[in-house]
A and B are shown apart, each in its own frame.
Chain A
Amino acid sequence: MEGAFILEKLILVVIVFTISLVIAMYSTLAERKIAGFMQDRHGPNRAGFGGILQPLCDGGKFFFKEEIIPAGAHKPLFVLGPTLAIITACISSAVIPWGQTLTIGGREVVLQVADINVGVLYIFGVVALGVYGIMLGGWASNNKFSLMGAVRAASQSISYEIPMGLSIIALLMVTGTLSMGEIVAQQSGFVNWNIWAQPIGFLIFMVCAFAECNRVPFDLPECETELIGGYHTEYSSMKLGLYMFSEYINMFVSSALMAALYFGGYNFPFMYELGLSENWITIIGVLVFFLKIFGFIFFFMWVRWTLPRFRYDQLMGLGWKILIPLAIANIVLTAAVIIVKDTYF
């Protein structure tokens, strides 16, 4: 590997990392603002113009709060919990293709940190790892409510990973590849978006993404009214901040994933017909991709302020009795359609 390649990837990693952190930061503000608007009030509007500095104030508050580690807690694991949560949240953005290639001074720069040929599997692996952060944190707190929250989170994540994976299998049958870069590249234009081929798959994937992110209506691991705070009851100061950050980064990454897998990623309608140069197409593509991501993040928040929380048995019932059979039926249906298409058309 040449030095320029490493430098290029390093810059890209730093940019992606910064962007995901900034978006996670401002998601907290957006969440409160949207909550406000949906409840006919202004959200936070005291810090800066329209509350634009609120996330900085929150961050500053987190850093200055007292760091409490409970006496009965398992100290190394207690610290490891939030660390693992934030690391797994951050590294899952590595395989997402943010755009096509930029040509800078005769050098082609691919706007994707790593186009590995098992990109989808990588994301699933990392997302599955995310449960460890929650589980360790909940167990190490030595608090029954934390443990309850952690157990709920773990069983919920595991239950919903199955339909998520099954919905992806149907998608992979359509695309024929596991590489994220190729999946997105196939969806050029508008009619080639995977949402048109896989509407049921997308629905299942989205419901599972909500569950994986512990968002309403699947926020049982941290339901305030039942479990005080859930798995992070005993956490304070920046460790709590890291948990919340990882949650918002997860939301960002799963929004990016939904946009990339089903909504064409950086592809936008008429991208080649407008007569733009390659670099401009890439730049507009990146912006379009982020627009789609923000749309999904908005949708996450919109749902949060609309739906009530599931009861736990309803949650499990939905996962095992409805989504998994539906996902399997979707696979069979997709397979049948592909066979019919291949043999008769």
Chain B
Amino acid sequence: MNFWERMYLPAIAKGLGITIRHFFKKIPTVKYPEEQRPYSKNFRGLHSLKRDEEGRERCTACGLCALSCPAEAITMIAAERTKEEMHLYREEKYAAVYEINMLRCIFCGLCEEACPKEAIYLDGPHVTADYLRKDFIYGKDKLVEPVFDITKLNPEKTN
């Protein structure tokens, strides 16, 4: 090392230069709860059980999704539709219980592909954190998409 190098001061100045450059750099961090990065188009998130145009559940409880599931996360109990339930379910057979264990699910999307009725899609957000294992078994209350009622959107206009 020559005299300049042994003084360390040029090296220190160089180091200070590097840090001050970072000081004025644009910060890449996303402030998560306020800002969110957009999901990619083929992002697979939380499942939703779809309804048809008349608001009836599309699922017919054929069990193909459960069969195709590599993680064995889906269970269902089928039931037969009665006369009074015509407006609720599209097919004669429907899923009385439909549960997905979100701790087992690997979000591969095979259920989506297997479904012949276009009844299940992984189009939701992330599965949120929870405290108990039992709270990760999502039933129909969480999975079935809400009824889309156009009359309730803007009651004054439709009347």
Contacts and interface: CB of A to CB of B under 8 A. Distances in A.
Q: Do A and B come from one complex?
A: yes
Interface of A: 34, 37-42, 45, 302-303, 305-307
A88 B132 CA distance: 53
A45 B29 CA distance: 12
Contacts of A42: 27, 29, 31
Contact of B23 (A37, A303, A307): A37
A307 B31 CA distance: 29
Interface size band for B: 10 to 19
Given A42-B31, A45-B31, A306 B25 contact: no
Interface stretch (B11-19, B119-127, B141-149): B11-19
B28 interface: yes
Interface string B1-45: 000000000001001101110110101110100000000000000
A93 B98 CA distance: 72
Contact of B22 (A37, A45, A303): A37
A51 to B, nearest CB: 12
A41 B16 CA distance: 18
Nearest to B15: A306
Nearest to A304: B19
A32 to B, nearest CB: 14
Nearest to A39: B22
Nearest to B12: A307
Contacts of A37: 22-23, 27
A302 B22 contact: no
Given A34-B23, A302-B20, A41 B15 contact: no
Nearest to B18: A306
A39 B27 CA distance: 9
Given A34-B23, A305-B19, A41 B12 contact: no
A306 B19 contact: yes
Given A42-B29, A306-B19, 13 more contacts: A37-B22, A37-B27, A38-B19, A38-B20, A38-B22, A38-B23, A40-B22, A40-B25, A42-B31, A302-B20, A306-B12, A306-B15, A306-B18
A93 B25 CA distance: 36
A102 to B, nearest CB: 36
14 contacts: A34-B23, A37-B27, A38-B20, A38-B22, A40-B22, A40-B27, A40-B28, A41-B27, A42-B27, A45-B31, A302-B20, A303-B16, A305-B19, A307-B15
A38 B12 CA distance: 16
A100 to B, nearest CB: 33
B4 to A, nearest CB: 15
Contacts of A307: 12, 15
Contacts of A302: 16, 19-20, 23
Contacts of B20: 38, 302
Which of B15, B19, B25, B28 has most chain A Cβ within 10 Å? Answer: B19
Contacts of A303: 16
Contacts of B29: 40-42
Contacts of A39: 22
Contacts of B22: 37-40
The 5 closest A-B pairs by CB, nearest first: A306-B19, A306-B15, A37-B23, A38-B19, A41-B29
A237 B15 CA distance: 36
B21 to A, nearest CB: 9
A161 to B, nearest CB: 22
Contacts of A41: 27, 29
A198 to B, nearest CB: 17
A41 B19 CA distance: 13
Interface in B106-146: none
Contacts of B15: 306-307
A77 to B, nearest CB: 39
A307 B27 CA distance: 22
B27 A306 contact: no
A42 B16 CA distance: 19
Contacts of B18: 306
A39 B22 CA distance: 7
B31 A306 contact: no
A38 B17 CA distance: 11
